[in-house]
Amino acid sequence: MEREDDHNSEEIRAGVQMAGTPEENMENRGYAAEENDFFPGSSSADTWRNIRKDPKKGFTGYVRFIWPYILIISFVFFGSLVAGYISAEYFPSMADSLRESFSSRFEPIMTMNPLLIMLVIFLNNSFVSLLFLVLGLALGVLPVLFIAFNGYLVGVIAYLVAQEKGMLFILLALLPHGIVELPMVFLAAAIGLRLGYQVFSALIGRPTQIKREFKEGLIFYFRWILPLLLVAAIIEAFITPFILSFI
């Protein structure tokens, strides 16, 4: 029974410039115009341009800069999660197939010690988040699709485990690490979506700085997202199982 609890908990836990030449200033003004087109009446673009002078203090400034994309990604994930949760009730055979596929992929992890489990979770989440960011260059489509699929999968697994363990078990299995991990994954996907918008803008002839934004997105990823994903992996491997052991 204890091994079954561990198996179910694993299923739940696993689904930055200073003033330059006149030419550069003209380029930046064109870039600012493009930004303000997307953020009408907002000071977000001005805030982030000021933050660029000191990227180490840029977390909140950058988040404010890409907040519309964060909202879109969040809506896609939670909308897909709800859809997965509901469809699992009406299509049980499909839900069971997804669960078996998911279990066969992550079940070997359960034989590792917690330190290795933490490392595997961290590397997996880090790779997936970086993939969301980079693949956003393909017009932002792939990050949205991946987020939708993962949200749907989490919804299906959540429904199945809720039938066996109850909603309290799901909340305790998801919340401790999820409050750190999910926002970081959403941020990476939002950066990818922003880059996709920049590529689209370039294709229709609008002024953009794709290379600059891509570099800034990577800086933000390695400075903020990656360390916090490590924190989430530590919580998921050590703290979440400890909490679930009391249920």
How much is the pLDDT for 53? 52
How much is the pLDDT for 216? 93
Q: Which of 108, 105, 143 is nearest to 15 (CA)?
A: 105
Q: Which of 11-20, 59-68, 134-143, 151-160 has the lowest mean pLDDT?
A: 11-20
Average pLDDT over residues 169-181: 93
How much is the pLDDT for 24? 45
Task: Give the residue ranges of DSSP H helices in the chain.
Answer: 2-14, 22-38, 44-51, 59-65, 67-90, 92-106, 114-135, 141-165, 167-203, 210-220, 226-234, 240-244
Q: What angle do CA 31, 34, 35 make, to 5 degrees?
A: 90
Please check the confidence at residue 17 and state whether its pLDDT lies above 50. Answer: no
Please check the confidence at residue 51 and state whether its pLDDT lies above 90. Answer: no
Distance CA 213, CA 191 (A): 9
pLDDT tens digits, 89-118: 999 999 989 888 888 777 777 778 999 999
Distance CA 199, CA 197 (A): 5
How much is the pLDDT for 99? 87
For residue 8, what pLDDT band results from cuts at 50, 70 and 90? low
Distance CA 13, CA 170 (A): 9
Which tokens is 35 given?
């930004």
How much is the pLDDT for 132? 94
How much is the pLDDT for 108? 78
Average pLDDT over residues 25-50: 47
pLDDT tens digits, 121-157: 999 999 999 999 999 999 899 999 999 999 999 999 9
Please check the confidence at residue 87 and state whether its pLDDT lies above 50. Answer: yes
Instruction: Say how many residues make up the chain.
Output: 247
pLDDT tens digits, 221-233: 999 999 999 999 9
Which tokens is 183 given?
């926002």
How much is the pLDDT for 45? 53
- Using an 8 Å Cβ cutoff, are 136 and 196 in contact? yes
How much is the pLDDT for 13? 54
